Each structure stands twice: as structure tokens, then as C-alpha cells.
């Protein structure tokens, strides 16, 4: 019989081993840094076959998509006449696309899996010559983080504006998936998860004041089967994806530059609409 993935529910598992906890932002040099603890997932899939069959070419691993990013920060001068600034990194054109396939640095987005370095345990290859069933075990870790400059100079007033508020939201879906020797993927289980920060900063000293409604983290209940979520389904295994989430994320930092369409300035304190690009 050809090598197949066992369809029995007991032969496949995705388990949450660590839930991320968001940390209060801290000053890091010229920036405010937002961090969390790691999310940890573990899982396994089972390959079935007959004596003499080879499971070479099969791989079990994690695929991760990000489907929502909120990423803006606002600045105010010491007085209203010093002006204010809104920088919006989570919207076009700074962010070139909304949904993306997430890969660690060092793993090409064309590899599909989040991390193809076997030493990290994120991917497990099938084996030649080992008896069946073959149970392939993998694990997954991620730890979103972001920084915002503490100060920006307002080009309209010439005055320094200080970090006043920031809202960051990173929403993901991680999938336990199998790739066969013909580069076909089968998604076995998945889980939605996110990290979120919303803070204002009081002067002097950029003292962080939490908005509890906008701050926290969530890890959903693992589900079975192929996700049909239209927010990210098209990027999961598409060979047309040429930029990972990290590539898109780093490029969006250009929103801080004067003249960027994602940087909005005012000569006075302004409550900007965060729905603008």
C-alpha cells in the first residue's frame, strides 16, 4: 500500500504547551519596546504503510499565517502648539498586504513551513527503512515583539513630539500540516492565537498606562481539518507568496519617515482617526 497519513483522530494531535503573556512596554534606548512570552505548541501525525515502503519525501510541520495587524502610534508635543503625529504601520501602502505567510528568518517563504531547520523541532521528515506506523512529532514557538520610537520631530512645527499612545495587535493561525513527496499539503489541525497591546504614555518619563480592553492574549481551542477562513486561506501554501510576514513587517517601518503617506502631522494636538492609511 502507498504511504498515507492516518485518518484516525487518535493518530494526530495538536496541544498548546505555553500560552503567551503580554508584558508591559519598557523603554529600550530610543524606543518603547513591546514584548510577550512565547506561545508553545506541540503535535504529531502518523504515517501508515506496508513493510518495504519508504516515507522519504513526507514532512510534518507547522504552517503559520498572520491575518490581522493593527500597528499605530501617536505623538504629541509638550504643548498643543508643538503639534502631533500619527504613524500607521498596519495599513497600506506601508503594509503591502494584510494576510501573509509567517516564516522565521532563515527559512524562505517558498518553503511554506514556518521553520525548516530540523534542529529546532518545527519540522519532522519521514524515514526510509523504519517500520510503520511512523509517528512524527513537532513543536512550534513564536514570540511577537515591536518597537516604537520615543520621539519624532514634527516637520510642521519643528518641535519634538513624544510617544503618546500605541495600539498593536497581531492575529495568527498555526496549522499542523503534512507535505507529501509531490509537494501536496494536508492540514490536519490548527489553532488561532493573538497578542495585543494598547497603552497611553504619561509624561514625564513615558509612564505606561494600560487600556485593559485592548491589551492581552488569546489562544483558541485546537480544531481539526482544513481551515476555510477566507482572511488567510489563499496565502497558506501558495507558491506565489514571495514575502514573508517578517519581510512585510520590516518594510512597514518606512512609515516613520517624513513624507510617508502613512505619517500624518498636525500643527496642534489632534485626535487622529486611526482608520486612515
Report CA-CA distances (Å) from 165 to 148, 150, 159, 244. Answer: 10, 11, 18, 28
Query: Would you say residue 1 has pLDDT above 80?
Result: no
Residue 170 — very low, low, confident or very high, per pLDDT cuts 50/70/90?
A: very high
Residue 157 — very low, low, confident or very high, per pLDDT cuts 50/70/90?
A: very high
* Residue in 41, 42, 17, 45 with CA at minimum distance from that of residue 188: 45
Model confidence over 232-263: pLDDT tens digits?
999 999 999 999 999 999 999 999 999 999 99
Model confidence over 193-228: pLDDT tens digits?
999 999 999 999 999 999 999 999 999 999 999 898
For the chain, give the mean pLDDT: 96
Residue 195 backbone phi and psi in degrees, to 5: -135, 145
Percent of the chain with pLDDT over 90: 96
Model confidence over 83-107: pLDDT tens digits?
999 999 999 999 999 999 999 999 9
Supply the pLDDT for residue 276. 82
Cα dihedral 63, 195, 41, 109 in deg (nearest 10): 20
Report CA-CA distances (Å) from 260 to 236, 243, 244, 274, 276. Answer: 30, 21, 22, 16, 13
Q: Specify the pTM.
A: 0.95
**Terminal Cα distance for the chain, rounded:** 55
Q: Which residues have a Cβ under 8 Å from the Cβ of 77 and sit 6 or more positions away?
A: 83, 84, 154, 157, 159, 160, 161, 162, 269
In angstroms, the CA 128 to CA 108 distance is 26
In angstroms, the CA 116 to CA 243 distance is 16
Percent of the chain with pLDDT over 70: 100
Q: What is the CA radius of gyration of the chain?
A: 22
Region for 216 from its dihedrals, namely left if φ exceeds 0, alpha if ψ lies in -120 to 50, beta otherwise: left
In angstroms, the CA 249 to CA 110 distance is 17
Supply the pLDDT for residue 129. 83
Mean pLDDT of 168-195: 97
Model confidence over 116-131: pLDDT tens digits?
999 999 999 999 888 9
Amino acid at each position: 500500500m502507498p504511504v498515507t497519513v492516518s485518518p484516525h483522530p487518535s493518530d494526530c494531535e495538536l496541544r498548546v504547551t505555553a500560552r503567551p503573556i503580554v508584558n508591559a512596554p519598557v523603554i529600550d534606548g530610543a524606543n518603547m519596546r513591546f514584548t510577550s512570552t512565547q506561545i508553545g505548541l506541540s503535535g504529531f501525525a502518523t504515517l501508515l504503510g506496508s513493510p518495504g515502503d519508504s516515507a522519504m519525501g513526507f514532512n510534518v510541520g507547522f504552517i503559520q499565517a498572520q491575518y490581522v495587524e493593527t500597528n499605530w502610534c501617536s505623538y504629541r508635543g509638550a504643548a498643543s502648539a508643538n503639534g502631533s503625529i500619527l504613524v500607521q504601520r498596519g495599513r497600506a501602502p506601508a503594509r503591502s498586504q494584510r494576510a501573509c505567510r509567517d516564516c522565521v528568518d532563515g527559512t524562505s517563504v517558498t518553503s511554506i513551513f514556518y521553520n525548516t531547520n530540523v534542529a529546532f523541532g518545527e519540522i519532522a521528515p519521514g524515514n526510509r527503512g523504519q517500520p510503520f506506523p511512523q509517528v512524527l512529532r513537532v513543536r512550534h514557538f513564536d514570540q511577537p515583539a515591536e518597537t516604537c520610537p520615543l520621539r519624532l520631530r514634527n516637520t510642521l512645527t519643528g518641535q519634538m513630539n513624544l510617544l503618546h499612545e500605541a495600539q498593536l495587535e497581531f492575529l495568527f493561525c498555526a496549522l499542523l500540516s503534512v507535505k507529501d513527496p509531490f509537494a501536496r499539503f494536508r492540514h490536519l489541525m490548527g489553532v488561532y492565537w493573538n497578542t495585543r497591546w494598547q497603552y497611553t504614555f504619561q509624561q514625564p518619563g513615558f509612564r505606561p498606562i494600560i487600556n485593559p480592553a485592548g491589551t492581552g492574549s488569546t489562544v483558541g481551542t485546537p480544531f481539526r481539518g482544513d481551515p476555510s477562513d477566507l482572511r488567510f486561506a489563499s496565502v497558506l501554501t501558495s507558491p506565489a507568496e514571495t514575502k514573508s510576514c517578517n519581510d512585510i513587517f520590516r518594510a512597514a517601518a518606512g512609515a516613520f519617515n517624513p513624507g510617508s503617506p502613512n505619517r500624518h502631522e498636525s500643527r496642534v494636538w489632534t485626535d487622529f482617526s486611526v482608520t486612515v492609511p
